[in-house]
């Protein structure tokens, strides 16, 4: 009898790595998530865009995110959790998975609770160096909590916790072997704010674009919100420099992989999987962490590579044209020193994390 699994959560990139391993072992896969990346805007999440091409059913549920900075607003929208719980019951009774795997975030809460009530074993994976509120809540009903970094052990019951490492697709390890250890003649600067983009990062690039294209070939993933604005700014550049600035609103995981091979320097947020991928490819990076991430997790993620001297961190409160350009010039001038730390950074990444996690899932699929 074919084993069935439902995946859920707000972190889709590690989900892709697990999907690869699940398909090797002939699991039937379903994803439960949200369709819109930004509330009120017709911008699809990466999973909603990607899963149809993988022939994996995608079911949408409603949920809400508890905002510490807007407690009243959170209370008013808490009804969505009840709706999401009902929707999850319906989906899980239809799909009847052997086990549910959560990747944390508020998206995973209703499906995890519904699975627990229905007697479906729940396993959750924590990608970050610290744990968000959602995964801490889910851990109480989970059979196992898989962690990416030893530092997140303190947030969970040690009897349930198992170290797997963070989850990266197999092709990333192959592509990382193609990465050259020397800088391009015209250095390539890759700028990304994550799948939804970052207006803060977009603004710092836009306001310094003329200066930057004189030194760099720039690939800029803007997200949907600022894409048109950045294209207009590109068209105002001198004609001989426009080809040095390539703008994309979104990139597939495969596109991101190609960019990691090309990039000499990276400017990025500091999501857990992004940090792991940067470590694997050994790219000197300026991290601009999201300041409101739970437990300041993005700053702590970035700090791992800062401590290994592969990256620099500029906090949003300190971000301005002067600090950005000074930091970028410093990395460029000391490029070989940063690249010497590539081997140490790669040790943060586990190549068999997905296998370890699916081994755990197989234990609970037979309950």
On the question of pLDDT at 207 being above 90, the answer is yes
On the question of pLDDT at 77 being above 70, the answer is no
Distance from C-alpha of 242 to C-alpha of 210, rounded to nearest angstrom: 10
pLDDT mean over 226-249: 95
pLDDT of the residue at 42: 62
pLDDT band at 64 (very low <50, low <70, confident <90, very high): low
Which residues in the chain belong to E strands, given as ranges?
4-8, 28-33, 58-60, 99-102, 122-126, 144-147, 161-163, 188-192, 217-221, 245-248, 265-268, 285-287, 311-313
pLDDT mean over 137-166: 94
pLDDT of the residue at 235: 95
Look over the chain and give the mean of its residue pLDDT values, rounded to a whole number: 91
* CA–CA distances in Å: residue 85 to residues 29, 82, 116, 150, 300: 20, 5, 11, 32, 32
CATH value of 172-346 in 3.10.105.10, 3.90.1170.20, 3.40.50.2000, 2.70.98.50: 3.40.50.2000
On the question of pLDDT at 140 being above 70, the answer is yes
Same fold, 4-168+350-365 and 172-346: yes
pLDDT mean over 31-54: 79
* Across 29-38, 336-345, 356-365, least confident range: 29-38
pLDDT tens column, 310-356:
999 999 999 999 999 999 999 999 999 999 999 999 999 999 999 99
pLDDT mean over 136-150: 95
Nearest Cα neighbor of 65 from 54, 57, 77 is: 77
pLDDT mean over 19-25: 96
Q: Would you give the end-to-end CA distance of the chain in angstroms?
A: 14
On the question of pLDDT at 70 being above 90, the answer is no
pLDDT of the residue at 128: 87
pLDDT of the residue at 181: 79
pTM flag (> 0.85): yes
pLDDT of the residue at 264: 97
For residue 191, what are the contacts with CB-CB under 8 A and spacing of at least 6?
201, 205, 218, 219, 220, 221, 266, 267, 268
pLDDT band at 192 (very low <50, low <70, confident <90, very high): very high
Nearest Cα neighbor of 273 from 265, 281, 262 is: 281
pLDDT mean over 170-187: 91
pLDDT tens column, 80-128:
678 989 999 999 999 999 999 999 888 999 999 999 999 999 999 999 8
The domain locations on the chain are 4-168+350-365, 172-346
Distance from C-alpha of 215 to C-alpha of 61, rounded to nearest angstrom: 46
**Fold of the CATH domain 4-168+350-365:** Rossmann fold (3.40.50)
pLDDT band at 293 (very low <50, low <70, confident <90, very high): confident
On the question of pLDDT at 68 being above 70, the answer is no
């Amino acid at each position: 009898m074919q084993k069935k699994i439902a995946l859920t959560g707000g972190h889709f990139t590690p989900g892709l790595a697990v999907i690869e391993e699940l398909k090797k072992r002939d699991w039937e896969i379903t994803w439960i998530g949200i369709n819109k990346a930004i509330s009120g805007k017709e911008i699809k999440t990466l999973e909603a865009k990607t899963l149809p091409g993988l022939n994996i059913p995608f079911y949408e549920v409603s949920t809400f995110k508890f905002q510490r900075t807007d407690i009243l607003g959170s209370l008013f929208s808490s009804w969505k959790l009840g709706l999401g719980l009902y929707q999850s019951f319906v989906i899980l009774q239809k799909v009847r998975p052997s086990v549910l795997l959560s990747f944390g975030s508020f998206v995973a809460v209703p499906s995890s609770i519904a699975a627990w009530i229905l007697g479906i074993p729940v396993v959750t994976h924590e990608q970050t160096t610290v744990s968000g509120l959602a995964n801490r809540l889910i851990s109480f009903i989970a059979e196992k909590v898989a962690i990416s970094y030893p530092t997140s052990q303190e947030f969970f019951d040690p009897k349930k916790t198992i170290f797997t490492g963070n989850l990266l697709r197999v092709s990333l390890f192959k592509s990382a072997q193609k990465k050259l250890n020397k800088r391009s003649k015209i250095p390539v600067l890759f700028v990304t704010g994550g799948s939804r983009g970052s207006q803060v990062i977009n603004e710092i690039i836009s306001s310094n674009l003329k200066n930057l294209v004189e030194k760099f070939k720039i690939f800029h993933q803007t997200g949907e919100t600022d894409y048109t604005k950045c294209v207009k700014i590109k068209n105002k550049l001198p004609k001989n420099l426009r080809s040095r600035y390539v703008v994309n609103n979104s990139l597939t995981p495969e596109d991101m992989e190609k960019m990691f091979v090309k990039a000499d320097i990276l400017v990025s947020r500091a999501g857990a999987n992004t940090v792991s991928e940067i470590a694997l490819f050994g790219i000197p990076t300026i991290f601009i962490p999201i300041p409101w991430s739970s437990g300041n997790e993005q700053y702590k993620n970035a700090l791992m590579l800062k401590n290994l001297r592969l990256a620099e961190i500029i906090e949003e409160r300190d971000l301005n044209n002067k600090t950005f350009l000074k930091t970028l010039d410093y990395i460029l001038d000391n490029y070989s020193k940063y690249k010497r730390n590539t081997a140490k950074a790669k040790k943060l990444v586990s190549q068999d994390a997905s296998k370890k996690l699916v081994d755990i899932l197989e234990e609970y699929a037979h309950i």
